[in-house]
Chain A
Amino acid sequence: MAYIADKPTPPPSADELRARIPGWGADVDPKDRPAFPRERRDLDSGAHWNFPDRQPEIVPRERSIEHKFVTPVFGTAQPLAGLSGAIRRYAYARFSEGRAAHWLLLLAGDRVDAMESHARSLLTLHPDNPVTETGILSEFRRHPIRSRFGRNRADLSHTWLDPILVAGPWLLGGWVAVKVLRRLRGPR
């Protein structure tokens, strides 16, 4: 018990563990552990510069205001665009990472981006298809019943929420569109 000085059930002996578990104790000496000590100056990272060359900033790049300047290397995957871009740009320019507003605005930007992008995709030859994009059609190949039921899974209590989270915005969007169209066509 915790109420006396030693563990009442001592751990198995080293010999016993070594016999049962491949490699048991190989790293028992902290000096053999590559993450120890956490900070050290003797590693060769492969860098052959004091400060890296600067990647050309072709499109103006948003940055955290906790940075002195745009980092010498940065990602260019999806530059800011549209209303979501404006929200994100404001989040970066106005609030540090220490402010909840920074992150909440970025989350809002993500939702607006999703709406903008879905709407834009409808005007292309490759519109969003919620059926194929959710991978739901694969269910039948992947044992939907056996994988879920009779197995004590804790997540079944909220699985019903997923379709609502995915389809909800679409249904809401459709409903709003119908309302707007009706309004535009005027009272009959």
Chain B
Amino acid sequence: MKAMVYRGPYKVRVEEKPMPKIEHPNDAIVRVSLAAICGSDLHLYHGLMTDLRIGHTFGHEFIGVVEEVGSSVRNLKRGDKVMVPFNIYCGSCFFCARGLYSNCHNVNANATAVGGIYGYSHTAGGYDGAQAEYVRVPFADVGPSVIPDWLADEDALMLTDAYSTGYFGAQLGDIVQGDTVVVFGAGPVGLAAAQSSWLMGAGRVLVVDHLDYRLEKARTMAHAETLNFVEYDDIVVELKKQTDYIGADVAIDAVGAEADGNLLQHITGSKLKLQGGSPIALNWAIDSVRKGGTVSVMGAYGPIFSAVKFGDAVNKGLTLRMNQAPVKRQWPRLFEHIQNGYIKPSDMITHRIPLEHIAEGYHMFSSKLDDCIKTVVVPNAA
């Protein structure tokens, strides 16, 4: 089969790979109909994630058709059209039993701190991902859901990670009616978080980024006020001014390890890998939220230390909340919101490319060319 493979930092190509096999009785093999490139994939692409082996296939946002199931699979059969959360999880360990599906203890031998994620290095369990014609799906009775008839494919695809993550991020903000919410990052996760903040009853939603075309999307899709941080000498002061010098009630970091806005932090954290990522947006969140406020971190960071302004967080009495999103928990409610016409997750998709053009897809998204926000990858076998 054809699959995207990693060849070293900033280098990917399409290769012929052996078909994935059933390796466990509850596995399924899924023929991928649509996959997407996530902001998280950029951390891999730039070589920031640890134990990322040459030949690894990325891709953790996907929908497809069940090709084959293992002997213990009860809930799926060949031919089912499924959406698959980016989390790989067993459904039965201490953590899964409590609904912490992104923190499963039975699927990642390489790291206890990290759950299982498709195509996200060996630090996330060593599973090849779905930017390929076929993919192995462990715990087929637990993760995947059959796509409801009324749900469009591209909306289902956006629910497998980006949209569900933004929705989860807004929930971690513990927003109460009338709150002012500031979202750092106008990528797919930030857009979804901003839109979801309204569902939770926010009174104001502000989105910060430096890419005007994405801020434009934050205004149209997420009805947010926007700030381009390059236009201000100090974005923290500007946010204080805009909130009567109180600060926002809730701040959401939807940027993560490769944040821009401070050259020293960016180069040490993102380029030279001397930190587990550059925490610029996280520090802005800590500084611009009000005392007693909540910071929700959806941005991904590497496993080593980052220069986070912890003292300010302590002195301000902040609540810091974060996790990888337990995606499948979000679906029933998001289905209702889509059916009610409140949200349309596929609105953030800007590009559709065949798998053969994967190197172009990564370069374009990484360099933010052609007003790219979200790219969908279409493998041939579909």
Contact = CB atoms under 8 A, between A and B. Distances in A.
Interface of A: 1-3, 7-12, 14, 17, 20-28, 30, 32-36, 38-41, 43, 45-53, 55-56, 61-64, 66-67, 70-78, 84, 88, 92, 97, 100, 103-104, 106-107, 109-110, 113-114, 116-118, 121, 126, 128-130, 132-139, 141-144, 147-148, 151-155, 157-159, 161-162, 165-166
A70 B245 contact: no
Contact of B244 (A2, A100, A106, A113): A2
B10 interface: yes
Q: B interface, how many residues as a size bin? A: 35 or more
B90 A73 contact: yes
A47 B139 contact: yes
Given A77-B56, A134-B359, 17 more contacts: A28-B177, A34-B329, A38-B100, A39-B99, A41-B97, A45-B101, A49-B92, A71-B106, A75-B126, A75-B128, A78-B126, A88-B122, A97-B303, A104-B304, A107-B50, A107-B273, A133-B13
Contacts of B260: 154-155
Given A106-B50, A113-B53, A166 B273 contact: no
Contact of B112 (A21, A39, A67, A159): A67
Contacts of B311: none
Nearest to A136: B363
23 contacts: A2-B290, A20-B223, A21-B198, A27-B196, A28-B176, A30-B174, A38-B100, A45-B89, A55-B24, A71-B105, A72-B24, A77-B122, A78-B54, A78-B126, A97-B112, A117-B55, A138-B360, A147-B369, A148-B369, A152-B212, A155-B210, A158-B267, A158-B271
B368 A46 contact: no
Contacts of A144: 369
5 nearest interchain CB pairs?
A: A11-B203, A23-B342, A75-B126, A47-B91, A135-B363
B126 A74 contact: yes
Contact of A88 (B51, B107, B128, B200): B51
Interface stretch (B154-162, B185-193, B227-235): B227-235
A169 B194 CA distance: 41
Given A118-B8, A142-B364, A158-B271, A61 B50 contact: no
Interface in B196-212: 196, 198-201, 203-204, 210-212
Contact of A114 (B8, B92, B179): B8
Contacts of B266: 158
A24 B247 CA distance: 22
Contacts of A75: 116, 122, 125-128
B305 interface: yes
A133 B13 CA distance: 5
Chain B binding surface, main DSSP class? loop
B126 A76 contact: yes
Interface stretch (B61-69, B312-320, B333-341): B333-341
A53 B25 contact: yes
B177 A133 contact: no
B354 interface: no
A77 B52 contact: no
Interface in B298-353: 302-305, 326, 329-330, 332-333, 337, 340-343
